[in-house]
Amino acid sequence: MIITVKVKPGAKVGPKLERLEDGSYVAFIRARAHDGEANAALVELLSDYFHVAKSLITIKSGAGSRVKVVEVLG
């Protein structure tokens, strides 16, 4: 499955994932966007949310952006 996720790094709430009406997601991540910490935290959050291994989640585009396209296998 391919999903679009808008990431909010450094959020005071979280980690939390909300699904929007258009089918995309908003991820509130406590980790800062520094040295890939927010991306790693996003993968961990999606892994818990979808109950799949972290190795089955790939950031397809937007690794340096707040809006990411993510593939979740499984």
Smallest CA-to-CA distance from 47 within 73, 69, 8, 25 is with 73
pLDDT at 52: 98
Please give the pLDDT value at position 44. Answer: 97
The continuous run of DSSP H or E covering 39 comes out as helix 37-50
Tens of each residue's pLDDT in the chain, 74 residues: 999 999 999 999 989 999 999 999 999 999 999 999 999 999 999 999 999 999 999 999 999 999 999 999 98
CA distances from 34 to 3, 30, 31, 56 (A): 23, 12, 8, 23
pLDDT of residue 5: 98
Q: What is the pLDDT of residue 67?
A: 98
Domains present along the chain, CATH in parentheses: 2-72 (3.30.1200.10)
The pLDDT of residue 26 is 98
